[in-house]
Each structure stands twice: as C-alpha cells, then as structure tokens.
C-alpha cells in the first residue's frame, strides 16, 4: 500500500466551529495535497481541546463538525487516515512518557503556553495547557512521522518534538523517527479583511474581517465587498503600501491558481469594486459546495462515525506498535495474558 511513502501527520483542534479561510488556505489545503505523496495521518485533537474549558455538548458537536469539514475539503479516507485523537489511547500513554523526559524549564519556554495563559492569568491555566506541547510530541512520534504540516506558529513545538525524540533515542536506543516541520513558504498568509495588519484568525479578527467557510454565501459576499482597501485606485500587489488590496489578490490567486501578475494585468485600469465583485463570486463558488458536502456528513452521522472508527483502527495499528517498543525500551515489565 502507501507504506513505502514518507509519513505525514497533523492535528487540528475541534474548538473553532466553522473553519475559516486562513485555516483552509494555510493548513488544510496542504493536508489534501500531502495525501498524494505521503502516507498521511490526520486527527481531530480533542485531548488538546480540553486544555481550555469546554462545554461537553459543544466539544462533541465540534469534533464531528471538524471531521466533516476535513472530508468536505477533500480528505479522502481511502487515501489518508482520519481519526479522533481520544479514540487512540496511546496518545495519552506516550504523552506521559514524554512528560517524564521533558525538563520543567524546557516546557516553560514554550511561547504558545505563555500567550494562551497570559489571557486568563498563569495561575488559572491548567497543568494540561502547560504540557500541551508534550502531548503534541507524542502525537507525532507515535506515527514515526517524517513531515508535520503546520503553520509557522507551531515551529517551536516541532523543535521540541525533535529534541525529545533524540533524547529518548539516545537514552534508550533508536525508537523514534526525527520529524521535520513541513511549512510551505509560499502558502498564502491571509489577513483580516478589516485590518490587513493582522493575520486572519478566530481569536484576533473582527467578525467582519473573518471569512468562515460555513457562513451563508451572502454574508461572505458582503464581507468581501466591504473589505478595507487602500488609498489610490490601482490594483497592484504591494504588501506594505497596499495591504488590503494585496490580501484580496492573495486570496484570489490562491483560490483560482491564477498568478498575481496575471491578476494585476487583468484588473489594470479597473477599480477596486471590480476586483471585489469578482472575488466575491469566486468565494461563493468555493464555499457553496464546501457547505453542502459538510452538511451531508452532518446529516449522516453514522457514516461519519464509521469513517472515524475505521481511521482509529488504522491509527491504532501503528501507534500501539510504537508504544509497545517505547515501553519495552523504558524497562516496563511486559503484561502477560
């Protein structure tokens, strides 16, 4: 089967409801592409989600919703392994092992923890949030992943993964593959439509600046048409002087595959209005089938859950082998049946 291919693994949090355009163009499109070249494992990381308070009903709904959107975006259960993290108990098990070889100071240097805990005050943050990156290390090492497709913000966690894999291998013998971050440089960075100085993101963006893929197409159209543009009238890519127009050009180009110079030529002498009208149409054409496919999976939770059950079974076959090896190397007594 696909086993002679390099392995890819990534995870996405089930906390956001609808995916937004930044998620999609930054990470999820990469997931879809890597199915063709890699033995790819993708999971919805519900264990990570509970590092922050979650409503149980919402968590369950969002876990299905995330899986449905990944499938709607083009993940194909015949060509990749899609599963839910908590269905594979080896994540928590190897996570504990990794906790025990991580230095407290080392974990304290993780900037995502500093950022996330700063919001509610460090004393209110859970210990789970503190060890979040170490669980992520276990996620990756269990699958002997070579490539980890993530955004730039995850680089430090991949570095930690490499450090801990090397440490374990050195102390206990060769066990884990050393992974690399797969961060595609040209991957579009998408900015808030109302404030093109900040990245489009659920937490930072204003509702009007954020394109949720599951929004009503009419609402999406309106957001594009009221996007902030720059002084002047010329349609030209210039991230510094024209961040608003440049962001629209990036979105347009990434969605259609047309190059930015080709778009600049096409819109020469035309106003911002023409660009926005056309981009709104491109967006609507993109989100309409995406919403429809997502809804089809949500309307048929049995099929969706069966896909996830099969994925978990495939994932466990790999994860349990790695965990057994790690336990043996550590000196744990084998459990005899």
Question: Would you mind telling me the total number of residues written for the chain in this entry?
Answer: 337
**Calpha distance 47→322 (Å, rounded):** 19
Judged by CB under 6 A, the chain residues 118 through 137 that form the site for ligand TRP are 136
Residue 75 sits in the site that holds ligand TRP (CB under 6 A): no
Interacting positions 22-61 with ligand TRP (CB under 6 A): 45, 48
* Residue with smallest beta-carbon separation from ligand TRP: 11
Q: How far is the CB of 157 from ligand TRP (least distance, A)?
A: 6
User: Nearest CA to 156 among 177, 181, 139?
Assistant: 181
Show the 3-state SS of 145-199: CCEEECCHHHHHHHHHHHHHHHHHHHHHCCCCCCCEEECCCCCCCCECCCCCCCE
Closer residue to ligand TRP, CB minimum distance, 182 or 242: 182
Q: Is the CB of 82 or the CB of 140 nearer to ligand TRP?
A: 140
* Nearest distance in Å: CB 280, ligand TRP: 29
Task: Please tell me the distance from the alpha carbon of residue 306 to that of residue 314, in angstroms, as a whole number.
Answer: 12
Give the per-residue contact string, 136-165, with ligand TRP (x = CB under 6 A; - = no). x--xx-------x-x---x-----------
Catalytic site includes residue 276: no
Q: State how far the Cα of 260 lies from the Cα of 254, in Å rounded to an integer.
A: 9
* CB closer to ligand TRP, 120 vs 271: 120
Work out the number of other CB atoms within 10 angstroms of the CB of residue 324: 13
Q: Is 179 annotated as a binding residue?
A: no
The DSSP-derived string for 207-267 is GGG--BTTS-HHHHHHHHHT----SSS----BTTTBHHHHHHHHHHHHHH---HHHHHHHT
Residue 16 in marked binding region:
no
Residue number, 13 or 99, with CB nearest to ligand TRP: 13
Of 9-17, 170-178, 264-272, 319-327, the segment contacting ligand TRP by CB under 6 A is: 9-17
116, 189, 222, 314: the active-site residue:
116
**Measured from the CB atom, is 40 or 71 closer to ligand TRP?**
40
Single out the residue of 146, 142, 152 nearest to residue 180, CA to CA: 146
3-state SS, residue 47: helix
Edge-to-edge strand list for the sheet holding 180-182: 80-84, 39-44, 7-12, 147-149, 180-182
Catalytic site includes residue 218: no
139 is in an annotated binding site: yes
* Residue 200 labelled as part of a binding site: yes
- Measured from the CB atom, the residue of 9 and 193 that comes closer to ligand TRP is 9
> Is residue 124 annotated as involved in ligand binding?
no
Catalytic, 199? Answer: yes
C-beta pairs of 296-302 under 8 Å, 24+ apart in sequence: 297/64, 297/67, 297/68, 297/71, 297/72, 298/64, 298/65, 298/68, 301/64
- Among 5-13, 117-125, 261-269, 289-297, the segment contacting ligand TRP (CB under 6 A): 5-13
- Distance of closest approach, residue 45 Cβ to ligand TRP, in angstroms: 4
Q: Least distance from C-beta 95 to ligand TRP, angstroms?
A: 10
* Residues assigned a catalytic role: 116, 199, 202
Residues in contact with ligand TRP by the rule CB under 6 A: 9-11, 13, 45, 48, 136, 139-140, 148, 150, 154
Q: Which residues are annotated as a binding site?
A: 13-15, 22-23, 139, 151-153, 190, 199-203
């Amino acid at each position: 089967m696909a086993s002679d291919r390099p392995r890819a693994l990534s995870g996405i949090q089930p906390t956001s409801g609808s995916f937004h355009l930044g998620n999609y163009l930054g990470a999820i499109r990469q997931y879809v592409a890597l199915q063709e070249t890699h033995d790819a494992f993708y999971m919805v990381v519900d264990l990570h989600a509970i590092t922050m308070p979650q409503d149980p009903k919402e968590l369950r709904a969002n876990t299905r919703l995330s899986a449905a959107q990944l499938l709607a975006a083009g993940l194909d259960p015949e060509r990749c392994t899609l599963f839910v993290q908590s269905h594979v108990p080896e994540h928590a098990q190897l996570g504990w092992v990794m906790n025990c070889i991580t230095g407290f100071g080392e974990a304290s240097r993780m900037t995502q923890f500093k950022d996330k805990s700063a919001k509610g005050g460090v004393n209110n943050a859970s210990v789970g949030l503190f060890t979040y990156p170490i669980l992520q290390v276990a996620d990756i090492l269990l699958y002997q992943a070579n490539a980890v497709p993530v955004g730039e913000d995850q680089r430090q966690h991949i570095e930690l993964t490499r450090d801990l894999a090397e440490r374990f291998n050195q102390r206990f013998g060769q066990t884990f593959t050393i992974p690399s971050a797969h961060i595609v440089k040209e991957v579009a960075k998408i900015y808030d439509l109302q404030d093109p100085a900040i990245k489009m993101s659920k937490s930072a963006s204003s509702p009007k600046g954020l394109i949720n893929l599951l929004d009503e197409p009419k609402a999406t159209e309106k957001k594009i048409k009221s996007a902030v543009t720059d002084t002047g009238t010329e349609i030209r890519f210039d991230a510094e002087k024209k961040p608003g127009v440049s962001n629209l050009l990036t979105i347009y180009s990434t969605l259609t595959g047309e190059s930015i110079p080709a778009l600049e030529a096409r819109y020469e002498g035309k106003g911002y209005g023409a660009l926005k009208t056309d981009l709104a149409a491109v967006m609507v054409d993109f989100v309409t089938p995406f919403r429809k496919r997502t809804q089809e999976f949500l309307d048929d939770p049995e099929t969706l859950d069966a896909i996830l059950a099969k994925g978990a079974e495939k994932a466990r076959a790999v994860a349990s082998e790695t965990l057994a090896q790690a336990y043996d190397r550590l000196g744990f007594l084998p459990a005899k049946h």
